[in-house]
Amino acid sequence: MRYRTLGRTGIKVSPYGLGALMFATSVGNPDPGDSARIIHKALDAGINLIDTADAYGDSEEVVGKALQGRRDGVVLATKVSRPMGDDPNHQGASRRWIMTAVENSLRRLQTDHIDLYQIQRPDPTTDIEETLSALSDLIRSGKVRAIGTSTMPASDILDAQWVAERRGLARFHTEQPPYSLLDRGIEREVLPVAQRHGVGTLVWGPLGQGLLTGRVRKGGPNELRRAGFFRHMTDERRVDAVERFTSLAGEAGLPLTHLAMAFAIAHPGVTSALVGPRTMNHLDDLLAGIDVTLTDDLLDRIDEIVPPGTDVGPLDQVYVPPALQQPGLRRRPAGERGAA
């Protein structure tokens, strides 16, 4: 495994990271013991990055138990900001909630520090200085070693960097955006901005949330669990693109999963791609492709199917800025819309 430096932190991480959502017993593998065996095999294969979140059901507990005796060899990442119950203050990126949530995560993970603590979604109701101030205090206390964000727009990444510099606060070291053969929008601004400012990137969804596993074919059944929850999983444009990538992978003599993963880690702005195996077979398939590299010709053909910097339809899980969610922020009052 060729390790890469995570931004400018000096932390070395594997090009494949282990996403832990599927270790939550309520949505993924129902057997914590089996999840532990998957985690151990990934570590034995050289994967040293594990990424979870407080909002992933009991994932933190499962991961924490599995890492007993192996914690020092792992770059452990978790996230905060998604709702944790009905209390309106048990979510977001306020100092009040961050300071409570980190203690909860440390307890569930059975550790005294978190290597990478990330804001899972931007919180437009909290001043970024408030968030960075709280995270800076956690770094100084030793409870957190590095900080990051997830699905943050490029303009917000720049704003946070500027605030950190002007206020003498810790800056975000990482960003965790979606990236796959189907979702290349971050190539336009997010990845260039991250590279310019030394921000490491841990991309999620490199297998298109399951669409790029080879289990979905045009005109066939879509039995993926997420198909019943997310509209993009049945988007005909995405299924059409998957069909073209399936053919391309076949011509290249590669499983579709190997083509997808090799593409995700080929971009110079990507530090690590997070895989989310639910079973040992899923992990074995992905590990079998760690030696795959893509030629320029193959990358050019990928560009012909999904042009650089474009997404094949929107993802349901990504952050949507208030200006797009709230019509009142993009519409003048009715009486002021005309030119005269």
The residues, any chain, with a CB within 8 Å of residue 251's CB and separated by 6 or more, are: none
Regarding beta strands 174-176 and 144-150, do their DSSP bridges make them parallel or antiparallel, or are they unpaired?
A: parallel
Whole-number Å distance between alpha carbons of 107 and 308:
42
As given in the structure block, the two tokens for residue 133 are: 């101030």
Nearest alpha carbon to residue 183 among 314, 39, 274: 314
Active site residue 56: yes
Residue 131 near residue 172 (C-beta atoms within 8 A): no
Whole-number Å distance between alpha carbons of 36 and 39:
5
- Active-site position among 56, 117, 179, 319: 56
Residue 21 near residue 276 (C-beta atoms within 8 A): yes
Regarding beta strands 144-150 and 49-51, do their DSSP bridges make them parallel or antiparallel, or are they unpaired?
A: unpaired
CB atoms within 10 A of CB 51: 28
CA distances from 335 to 317, 324, 330, 331, 338 (A): 36, 21, 14, 11, 7
DSSP 330: T
Whole-number Å distance between alpha carbons of 107 and 237:
44
Residues catalogued as catalytic:
56
